[in-house]
Amino acid sequence: MYNECRHILPGGFKCKAAALKGKAFCFHHVLSRRPARIGHGERGPLMLPPVEDAAGVRLALSQVLTEFAGQRIDRQDAGTLFYGLQIAASLIGKTSGDQHPRETVREIFKGDDCQPIGPETMGCDPEDCAKCTNRFSCQDNPSAKDKMEKRFRETHLARKYDD
């Protein structure tokens, strides 16, 4: 068993990587929880969201378009940012799996840096399942999950046709 990273991705999903021992975040998010600072307009530096998922890329793209249209960043900076977002979008398409809406974060907490973080959750290593006392009811155990879904379908369909 391990603690999962508590970082919330821009799309509202929680990172599921293993957190560093004694920390709230995984290796990647310990290093990258600060937004990028670009330019120094009269409104201050441009703060872009992390581009870790499609929602983050869309937010950053919208922000760059707004800043460029308002002439707060020049054409060269906007072009560089758009190119970086294009690369990020192509990588996200290859690496991100679809997550179910019920997996979105529903409760947030304040981290040590006063930034929002997700709830504390535990994850399982597959080799832990054999000796785990919750292996037959655990959502992380594929065989237990399949049995629970089958039982739900049988119960749900039986009730539906009994009415």
Q: Which residue has the tokens 């560089």?
A: 80
CA distance 124 to 139: 10
pLDDT at 122: 76
Extract the tokens encoding 17: 């990587």
Q: Are 7 and 109 in contact (CB under 8 A)?
A: no
How far is the C-alpha of 13 from the C-alpha of 29, rounded, in Å?
14
pLDDT score, position 55: 81
Q: Where are the alpha helices (DSSP H) in the chain?
A: 27-32, 54-69, 75-95, 142-162
Are 120 and 5 in contact by the 8 Å Cβ rule? The answer is: no
**Whole-structure pTM value:** 0.51
Per-residue tens of pLDDT for the chain, all 163 residues: 788 888 888 778 888 888 888 888 888 887 776 555 555 555 667 778 888 888 888 888 988 999 999 888 999 999 999 999 999 888 886 544 556 666 777 777 888 877 778 888 777 776 776 677 766 666 655 555 555 566 666 666 655 555 5
Q: In angstroms, how far is CA 66 from the centroid of its own chain?
A: 25
| Residue the block writes with tokens 């290593």 | 125
